[in-house]
Amino acid sequence: MCWLPVQRGISTALDSLKLTGARSFSKNLATSVAFSFPLLPIYSSVAFFSLVNDLFRFLLHPAWIKIQGANSALIRASLKTENRTYNCIGTVLAKNGCWSFLKGGFVLDSPLNLALLLFQNSDDKDIDITIDSSSLQPFTDQEWRFNQQFMINTQRKRAVTIHVSDQQGNRLQGAVITINQVSKDFPFGSAIAHTILGKLPYQNWFVE
């Protein structure tokens, strides 16, 4: 059972803010949603929901956030369980009048039956928050590792072209190269060899 109070200052799409369970698991995270409107203005959205009684990782699937009443605001998703509070499981700097993309995740360290998912304005500004298409998706460590390896193979691994030259810059033909990995770390960003500046195709592309 899922109960969601939509508080004053919060407008929520009735057919889109929901908590869903994965088909591959035996228990759904939520079965129904109810709405109420308290009189006092409270500028956060709270969702009560039941989690499976196992230790799972959870992804906070992309939630679309829109604010009114400020030019921008840092919206934070947090989780309160029976045993502890996850102060931040996702954030987004929402802009006034446009939809912003919030996603995140968390790992349960103990089984539980009830938890509260909150979307809050971090700086306590007096604003309205609209939430659309928010859901939770559980997955196991095995599924996490599978997805991790898939991302490594498709995003991080690339074909490498190696050019070998002497001190004068002349290319050496038939050179034997041995490569040893000395570190698992990799830099973020991109790099271009300085020799590309002398390549005519690159020069033609650049002036175009």
pLDDT tens for 65-76 read: 888 888 888 988
For residue 179, being part of any structural domain is answered with no
DSSP 8-state secondary structure symbol assigned to residue 100: E
- Predicted TM-score of the model (pTM): 0.48
Which among 127, 132, 195 has a CA at the least distance from the CA of 162?
195
In the predicted model, is pLDDT for residue 20 greater than 50? no
Q: How many CA atoms lie within 13 A of 111 on its CB side?
A: 3
Residue 5 lies in a domain: no
Q: Is residue 104 part of a domain?
A: yes
What is d(CA 132, CA 15) in angstroms, rounded to the nearest whole number?
A: 9
pLDDT in tens, 126-169: 788 888 777 777 777 788 889 888 988 888 787 878 888 888 88
Whole domain around residue 15: which residue ranges?
10-142
CATH value at residue 96: 2.60.120
Give a yes or no: residue 206 inside a domain.
no
Please indicate, yes or no, if residue 109 is contained in any of the structural domains. Answer: yes
Total residue count of the chain as it appears in this document: 208
**Domains identified in the chain, total number:** 1
Burial (CB count within 10 angstroms: exposed 0-12, middle 13-18, buried 19+), residue 97: exposed
Residue 23: per-residue pLDDT: 22
Residue 138 belongs to a domain = yes
**Burial category of 76 from C-beta neighbours within 10 Å (exposed 0-12, middle 13-18, buried 19 and up):** buried
